[in-house]
Structure 1
Amino acid sequence: MTAWDLIVIAVQRWAVTLVCVALAVLLVFTVAHAQPVYYSRVRVVLLSPELPQTNALGSTSASLIDLAGVVARKVQGTDQQSLPVSADVTLYDQGIQSGYSVVQPNLGGQWAYNFEDPVLDIQAVDTTPQGARHQLDTALAAVRTSLDDVQDGQHVAAADRVRSSLTPAVPQITEQKGSMVRAVGVSVAAAVLLIAALLATIGRRRPRGGRGSSTRTPGPELLTRSGSTHPEATRTPSSG
């Protein structure tokens, strides 16, 4: 089917074409005016107390790594299936527009666990800068509370507690909107292809006319009692 055939079908089925174009315009308008998402990311690094021997939870690097895992599970939960394989995948990349995540970075990939540093990776997103800041503050407060709860359970004195620091020290809120030109271009291309496919489907379902498409009308043949339509069956025997 050629482009000219699609144009002819579009004109003949102008009502369908008009609806498709209106929906395409609505799609492009929605993409062009998509609401931006504001994003922040920070790492919480767990540090040994000044006197490590007084707190078994932070006496060694291995114990700090284990403590980071405990805190992450207390805040985020134990469901690891929903976590992305790569640490480079952000909440914004996953289509999340509001919320936070607290994850212990895993360097072992999808099928293995390898935690090398006592670090918690925190991400926060929201549709406004104030909302993103609130999500980040909520996540940091949850980490501090969980860290205190674990040490309270071990009766660790306040002076002997595991310390923490932020990287960067002052978290930044950035706008994540992507390329509007690219998004609009992809939307227009997708709309054109879908409309063309719909018109092509309509064209294939139309009854085709033209040469060889008419139905042959049977001639005036006589039927015998047996139902035969052969002219020979109507002959009468000649006399003598």
Structure 2
Amino acid sequence: MTLNQIFRACARRWYILLGLAILTGFGAVLAAGAGGVYWTRVDVIFLEPSSSANPNALRAGTGGNLVAFAALVERQVNGNLDTPRFSNVESTLYGAGVRQGSRVSLANTGGQWADAFTRPVLSVEVVDSSETAVRSTLGLVLAHIDRISAEQQADAGVPQSSQITTLASPQQAVISRAEGKGTRAGLAVLVLGLALAGAVTAGADRFLTRRARNRESSPF
């Protein structure tokens, strides 16, 4: 079917095209009205226990044992499931289209082609529709991490004075608003929707025309 035939079909079945165009318009408005989201990222640093030999836990956090323990906690927090990783370590949840959710992952110092887990740090990312919701979810996730960490060490019989501890950085989460791409999304929905509406209208015209001809040629 040529473009001219499609235009003629749309002219004949304008009522079908109009109905589909109205639906497309509603979809475009909804897509364009999808506003921004609130987002934050906090690092949870695992620290060796303080002692007379190692009084400053902040300076001891690069050991392999700490990294392994942080990885264990990450897996427990995520329900023993592998954490999906973005190809770019700087990627964000909202950048991937997530508007509500959280992610806990072992800090990755590698690049696009290779992962590198050298720091005992869990990266906690939260995205939601309001600042209050982000702060609430973040608090729950951080508490969950601390609880899993304490349970793992208690189950291993580690005395409380010798247990690995955690520190959130920053301690006061910075929550930012990330604006969505509503206008672009609305325009995309409008263009694709109108194109689809034209194709559907043309198809309906062919079907209705063929059925009318069959009725005219039928003796009954």
Alpha-carbon distance in 2 for matches of 1:130, 1:60: 34
Question: Which of 122, 125, 128 is matched with 2:124 structurally?
Answer: 122
Alpha-carbon distance in 1 for matches of 2:61, 2:28: 57
State the match for 1:26 in structure 2: 26
Unaligned runs of 5+ in 1: 208-240
Q: Which is bigger in relative contact order (C-alpha 8 A, separation at least 6)? A: 2
Alpha-carbon distance in 2 for matches of 1:53, 1:198: 76
Following superposition, the deviation at residue 194 of structure 1 comes to: 1.2
Higher helix share: 2
Conservation of the 8 A alpha-carbon contact between 2:38 and 2:134: yes
CA deviation map 1:112-133 (0-9, x unaligned)? 8642111101111222211111
Alpha-carbon distance in 1 for matches of 2:180, 2:157: 49
State the match for 1:16 in structure 2: 16
Work out whether 1:179 is the aligned partner of 2:145: no
Taking structure 1 as reference, are residues 13 and 191 closer, same or farther at Cα in structure 2, changes over 3 Å only? same
Taking structure 1 as reference, are residues 197 and 170 closer, same or farther at Cα in structure 2, changes over 3 Å only? same
Alpha-carbon distance in 2 for matches of 1:143, 1:173: 20
State the match for 2:6 in structure 1: 6
More displaced stretch, 107-116 vs 61-70 = 107-116
Name the aligned partner's letter for residue 124 of structure 2.
I
CA deviation map 1:42-79 (0-9, x unaligned)? 1111122223979xxx8970010011011111211221
State the match for 1:230 in structure 2: none
State the match for 2:191 in structure 1: 189
Q: Percent identity?
A: 28
Conservation of the 8 A alpha-carbon contact between 1:91 and 1:125: yes
Following superposition, the deviation at residue 94 of structure 1 comes to: 4.2
Following superposition, the deviation at residue 169 of structure 1 comes to: 3.5
Conservation of the 8 A alpha-carbon contact between 1:40 and 1:173: yes
Structure with greater Cα Rg: 1
Question: Which of 133, 141, 144 is matched with 1:139 structurally?
Answer: 141
Work out whether 1:83 is the aligned partner of 2:94: no
CA deviation map 1:183-207 (0-9, x unaligned)? 2221221112212322343456555
Work out whether 1:159 is the aligned partner of 2:161: yes
Question: Secondary structure, in 3 states, of the residue corresponding to 1:72?
Answer: helix
State the match for 2:46 in structure 1: 46
Alpha-carbon distance in 2 for matches of 1:125, 1:189: 29
State the match for 2:217 in structure 1: none
Taking structure 1 as reference, are residues 46 and 68 closer, same or farther at Cα in structure 2, changes over 3 Å only? same
Following superposition, the deviation at residue 107 of structure 1 comes to: 5.5
Alpha-carbon distance in 1 for matches of 2:132, 2:156: 37
Taking structure 1 as reference, are residues 52 and 2 closer, same or farther at Cα in structure 2, changes over 3 Å only? farther
Name the aligned partner's letter for residue 119 of structure 1.
V
Give the TM-score, by structure 1 length: 0.71
Alpha-carbon distance in 1 for matches of 2:196, 2:62: 60
More displaced stretch, 184-193 vs 173-182 = 173-182
Name the aligned partner's letter for residue 154 of structure 1.
A
Conservation of the 8 A alpha-carbon contact between 2:66 and 2:120: yes
Name the aligned partner's letter for residue 183 of structure 2.
V
Conservation of the 8 A alpha-carbon contact between 2:74 and 2:104: yes
Work out whether 1:97 is the aligned partner of 2:107: no
Alpha-carbon distance in 1 for matches of 2:72, 2:10: 62
Conservation of the 8 A alpha-carbon contact between 1:49 and 1:161: yes
CA deviation map 1:95-118 (0-9, x unaligned)? 433332211134578998642111
Alpha-carbon distance in 1 for matches of 2:195, 2:61: 62
Question: Secondary structure, in 3 states, of the residue corresponding to 1:83?
Answer: coil
Taking structure 1 as reference, are residues 153 and 52 closer, same or farther at Cα in structure 2, changes over 3 Å only? farther
